[in-house]
Structure formats: structure tokens, C-alpha cells
């Protein structure tokens, strides 16, 4: 689905049309209504464009359609008309042309930024990843059908990252750029050329690789209601096949009782198995992805054989993996429902365990009393965590989510 016919001149013409659309008088209330209509259609599993998108992603990636539907449900959950209208007045009024370079790991990634930029009055030229050209291009079609004037402010294009001429043209034609993707993807973008004096085309917001986790207080891990928590965490882990920045990769249980923590890890494994029965894991894996998951499993297996306090639980065909490692620091997962469970005696130890990922933690789910929830939230906020929620809500951050510490919103406001 690459737009092979694209040229730098084509992008310049697109940019001129987008700037004309920004000059047209379209009040933010009208944009909010249009976005609300579009999002409402995408929340309907039977909506034809959603069905086309789910089918295309399943065919291209090997993910199950059930998993993709569950993930899109979570993605669209906060995108209600009320939530969109509630952003009006909270956003700066801008009439800029913003370039967005989207990632290819999660369908619909960046929809929050698309919504808030349109509500602020901006136009958007979006470059989707070669691996995921499906969701946003069809969403843009829906928006144009809902309101032609609002939809004229969003253009979605697709080209290969090797087309440096087109990426350079995106930069030349846009007031500023926001880029999403892995650290390698961000590093590969050629923004080394000096920014023009007027600031055109600067990389104002870059979202590299980030991670998320969860904390379960002892009383919540040990009580009968823990099944509700493990079910919610299993869903958080499994949606989007654990490929996004909001997917929990390490669960910490605040307890000194290692046997209780090991039992909780077993309950997480059981919850992942139940979720996998209802929402199947991928039909196929790339060689690299399969090797990464197998590496986690074999490392845990050999450590256990060597006498380390490590317990491995695994589903069939790489479907899910749980490693109980009581003393582990935050462990980055290869994705595909692979999670580490560890114990911590107190919150000071949590901070120590998070040191390997300092500055890279996006979100945390907390299962604790309201008083404990607030104290943990304060500690995590001081560590730069932008989104804290209950288990089960990790993949549905609100529209005012400060993704990556709020870099995109600061760029909208004109600050760096």
C-alpha cells in the first residue's frame, strides 16, 4: 500500500491544500462533533471500514482478528464526543501544519495526538509506517464523510523510510514534526541538517521506545478478589500483543512473602491462558520475534536448573510467557504476552528496581487502596511516569494523557 507515485512536489501541493483548509473558518466545536461521529463509527465492530482494517492487519501481521478487535475497542474507548468537546478551551488555538511520522507496531497509535491537534485548529500531514498503512488512512476517510471541512485538515500518506526525499519534503512543508517509533527509528530520521531560521520543520516531539509496568499491593494479591486483578492485567498485557508503550512488561507485588508472590505469578499465568483461549495469540511470528520470546524462556529455564529462584510458566506455541523472578529489576519484554513478576518489600525498593528504565516508563497500573494508590502515584510521577491507572485501563488513556511526558502538547503550545 505504499504510495509509489509520491514526489516532493506532490507533498508540497498537499501541504498547500492543508494550509488552505486551516484558513477556512471551522470552529473547534464543529471539529469535535466530526471527530465524535468518526470515533463512534469506529467503536462499532460491524462498521465496514473497521472490518476492512481488522482483516488487513490480521492478514499482514498474523494477529487474530479477535485480538485486533479487542485492542481497537480499548483504543477508541476514551474517544467519546463528550471527551473531545471537553478538550475545547484546554488547548491552545493554533493554525499550523504539523507533520506526524507514525509507528508500525500498534494499529491506531497516535490517534490521541491526531485528535488534540485537530481540536487545536491544526492541519496534519501524516506519514504512516510501511508495516501499518491501514488504520489512520481509513479513519481519515471516515472523518471526511462525517464533515468534509474538518476532514480536509487531515491527509494520510505512506512511503518507505528509504524515501529520504519525501521525509525531507515533509519537514520542509510542515511547521514542525512529531515522530513516533523505536529508538532506532527516531535515530534514523535525518534531522541533522540545521533547522531553518524560522523554525520550520523542527523535530518538536519524538517518542522513542518506552515501557510500562504494574504494582499490586500485598492485600490485593492475596485476597479472593485477586482474580479480578489478574484478569484485568492479563488483558492489559495481551492487547496489541504487548507491542505498545502502554503494555505492562513487569509486575511488582509489594510483599516480603516470596511464596505468595510466586502464587500470584501462577494466577497471572492462568489468567493469560484464559484470555488466550478467548482471544487467540498470533497465528505466526517473525523469526526475530520468535527467537526473542524463546530466549526469555530458555534463559529462565537454565537459571532455574542452576538453582536460581526463578519459575517459568509458558503457554503453547509461544502464546504467553510468565517468569517469576523475585529479585529482578525491571525487565524489558520482547512482547507477545511475555511478563516478569517480582516481589518488593516497599516503595523505596520499587524505585531501585525501576532504575534500569529511568526516564523511559510511560504508564503503571496500581492495584491498591485509594490511599496507597495516591502515594504510589506521587512516587511514579516524580519518576516521569505520565499515566497511572487501575488494572484493565492501561490501553485506554484519556485524551489529556501527557504522552511521553507531554512533549506533543508542549509543541502545540509553542514551547519545547
**Residue that has been written with the C-alpha cell 511514579 in this structure:** 380
DSSP designation for 404: G
How far is 92 from 113, CA to CA, in rounded Å? 14
Give all strands (DSSP E) within 189-286, no chain letters: 202-207, 211-217, 248-254
* Residue 416: per-residue pLDDT: 47
**Residue that has been written with the C-alpha cell 504510495 in this structure:** 3
How far is 342 from 211, CA to CA, in rounded Å? 16
Q: Is 53 helix (H, G, I), strand (E, B) or coil?
A: helix
Cell of 265: 505469578
pLDDT < 70: residue spans in the chain? 1-2, 190-200, 224-225, 415-416
The string of DSSP letters for 99-136 reads EEE--SSSTTTTHHHHHHHHHTT-EEEEEE-TT--SHH
Radius of gyration (C-alpha) of the chain in whole angstroms: 22
How far is 349 from 253, CA to CA, in rounded Å? 11
Domain architecture of the chain: domains with CATH: 8-209 (3.40.605.10), 211-389 (3.40.309.10)
pTM of this prediction?
0.94
Amino acid at each position: 500500500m505504499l504510495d509509489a507515485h509520491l514526489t516532493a512536489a506532490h507533498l508540497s501541493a498537499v501541504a498547500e491544500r492543508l494550509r488552505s483548509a486551516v484558513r477556512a473558518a471551522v470552529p473547534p466545536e464543529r471539529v469535535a462533533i466530526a471527530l465524535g461521529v468518526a470515533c463512534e463509527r469506529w467503536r462499532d465492530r460491524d462498521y465496514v471500514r473497521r472490518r476492512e482494517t481488522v482483516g488487513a492487519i490480521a492478514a499482514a501481521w498474523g494477529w487474530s482478528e479477535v485480538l485486533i478487535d479487542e485492542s481497537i475497542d480499548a483504543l477508541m474507548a476514551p474517544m467519546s464526543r463528550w471527551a473531545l468537546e471537553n478538550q475545547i478551551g484546554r488547548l491552545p488555538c493554533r493554525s499550523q501544519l504539523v507533520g506526524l511520522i507514525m509507528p508500525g507496531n500498534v494499529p491506531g497509535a497516535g490517534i490521541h495526538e491526531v485528535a488534540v491537534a485537530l481540536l487545536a485548529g491544526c492541519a496534519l500531514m501524516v506519514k504512516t509506517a510501511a508495516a501499518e498503512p491501514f488504520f489512520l488512512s481509513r479513519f481519515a476517510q471516515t472523518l471526511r464523510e462525517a464533515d468534509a471541512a474538518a476532514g480536509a485538515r487531515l491527509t494520510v500518506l505512506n512511503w518507505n523510510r528509504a524515501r529520504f526525499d519525501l521525509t525531507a519534503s515533509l519537514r520542509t512543508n510542515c511547521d514542525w514534526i512529531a515522530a513516533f517509533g523505536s529508538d532506532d527509528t527516531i535515530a534514523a530520521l535525518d534531522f541533522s541538517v540545521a533547522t531553518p531560521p524560522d523554525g520550520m520543520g523542527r523535530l518538536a516531539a519524538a517518542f522513542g521506545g518506552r515501557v510500562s509496568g504494574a504494582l499490586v499491593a500485598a492485600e490485593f494479591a492475596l485476597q479472593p478478589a485477586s482474580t479480578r486483578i489478574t484478569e484485568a492485567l492479563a488483558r492489559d498485557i495481551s492487547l496489541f500483543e504487548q507491542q505498545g508503550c502502554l503494555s505492562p512488561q513487569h509486575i511488582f507485588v509489594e510483599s516480603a512473602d516470596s511464596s505468595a508472590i510466586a502464587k500470584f505469578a501462577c494466577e497471572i499465568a492462568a489468567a493469560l491462558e484464559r484470555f488466550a483461549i478467548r482471544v487467540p495469540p498470533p497465528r505466526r511470528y517473525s523469526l526475530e520475534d520468535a527467537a526473542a520470546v524463546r530466549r526469555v524462556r530458555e534463559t529462565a529455564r537454565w537459571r532455574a536448573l542452576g538453582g536460581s529462584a526463578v519459575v517459568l510458566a509458558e503457554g503453547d506455541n509461544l502464546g504467553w510467557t510468565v517468569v517469576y523472578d523475585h529479585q529482578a529489576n525491571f525487565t524489558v519484554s520482547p512482547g507477545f504476552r511475555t511478563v516478569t513478576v517480582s516481589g518488593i518489600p516497599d516503595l523505596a525498593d520499587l524505585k531501585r528496581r525501576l532504575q534500569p528504565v529511568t526516564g523511559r516508563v510511560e504508564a503503571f497500573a496500581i492495584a491498591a487502596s485509594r490511599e496507597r494508590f495516591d502515594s504510589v502515584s506521587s512516587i511514579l510521577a516524580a519518576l516521569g511516569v505520565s499515566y497511572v491507572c487501575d488494572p484493565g485501563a492501561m490501553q485506554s488513556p484519556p485524551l489529556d494523557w501527557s504522552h511521553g511526558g507531554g512533549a506533543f502538547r508542549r509543541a502545540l503550545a509553542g514551547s519545547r
